[in-house]
Amino acid sequence: MSYISMPSTDLLGEQIATVLAEPTTTHGLARTLRAAAKELVLHRYHHASQRAWPSGRIDEKPARVQIGGGAHLADGYYNIDLVPPADLLWDIREGIPLHDGTVNLIFSEHFLEHIDYPRSAKNYVREAHRVLAPGGRIITGVPDAGFVLNQYPGPLREADEMISRWYSKRDCLGDINTYLDLVNLLFRDQDDDLRYTPHLWAYDHEKLVQIFTEAGFTTVEPWTFDPALANPKRRWGSVYVIATK
């Protein structure tokens, strides 16, 4: 057996920091390296949890789970996210670390569009199906691509509400110059801001129905927004479905 020598992630992090500090490093390389440095941080969080649960399954068997809730922790739910303050820091692109058929309800909003499609998105939906008990349900909300695209082509001034609700506090505000810029943000929002994970895929109602049906869910229906569970700021411009195993 041959082994390829790989630098440790710590060494790689130091090397990236050194190259980033070089004034001659080009914008293109720096942009890529900053994204790699961010993945290294996420990799460290994930591997700390993986060391605690080497089988890839945690001992707990929570009945209600929120995935990708960020700072919006759901009461009575076990919160899994890449970064604090979740109950478990886990990279969902590596699967869901829960036992088969043990969960009654999964809640997730404004998460799915942040993982790569098809590999991670389809794997996540299959994993959700695996961990849910028979009759278990998963509620999923995403920015509604249908809503944004339905207004194209159109004048930017008619999108005032979208801009004020979604981008008024963002650095990108001054660079939203035509309606197509809003369409672009649907597909790659936050690509300019390393504090967040960017949008990698866009979804509408039809796509949500398709992806959950393909994974074996028996029904996929619209979910009526409930601000007691969902983040109230997601009500406007989002599409939600509830899929049953």
Ligand X SMILES: C[S@@+](CC[C@H](N)C(=O)[O-])C[C@H]1O[C@@H](n2cnc3c(N)ncnc32)[C@H](O)[C@@H]1O
Residues that bind ligand X (CB under 6 A): 68-70, 72, 81-83, 91-93, 109-111, 114-115, 197, 231, 234
Contact 46, 90 (CB under 8 A): yes
Q: Is the CB of 183 or the CB of 200 nearer to ligand X?
A: 200
Query: Least distance from C-beta 113 to ligand X, angstroms?
Result: 8
- According to DSSP, residue 139 is labeled E
Sort strands 64-67 and 103-109 into parallel, antiparallel or unpaired: parallel
CB-nearest residue to ligand X = 70
Q: Is the CB of 86 or the CB of 215 nearer to ligand X?
A: 86
CA 156 to each of CA 18, 42, 101, 145, 152: distance values in angstroms, whole numbers, following the listed order: 42, 37, 47, 17, 10
219, β-bridge pairs: 244
Query: Least distance from C-beta 90 to ligand X, angstroms?
Result: 6
Please give the structure tokens belonging to residue 56.
């890839």
Q: Is the CB of 68 or the CB of 136 nearer to ligand X?
A: 68
Contact 211, 121 (CB under 8 A): yes
Q: Is the CB of 154 or the CB of 227 nearer to ligand X?
A: 227
Query: Least distance from C-beta 65 to ligand X, angstroms?
Result: 12
Q: Is the CB of 116 or the CB of 214 nearer to ligand X?
A: 116
Query: Least distance from C-beta 104 to ligand X, angstroms?
Result: 19
CA 204 to each of CA 102, 112, 165, 167: distance values in angstroms, whole numbers, following the listed order: 29, 12, 19, 20
Contact 200, 113 (CB under 8 A): yes
Q: Is the CB of 7 or the CB of 227 nearer to ligand X?
A: 227
Query: Least distance from C-beta 26 to ligand X, angstroms?
Result: 28
Query: Least distance from C-beta 234 to ligand X, angstroms?
Result: 5
**Which residue bears the tokens 């604090």?**
84
SS3 191: coil
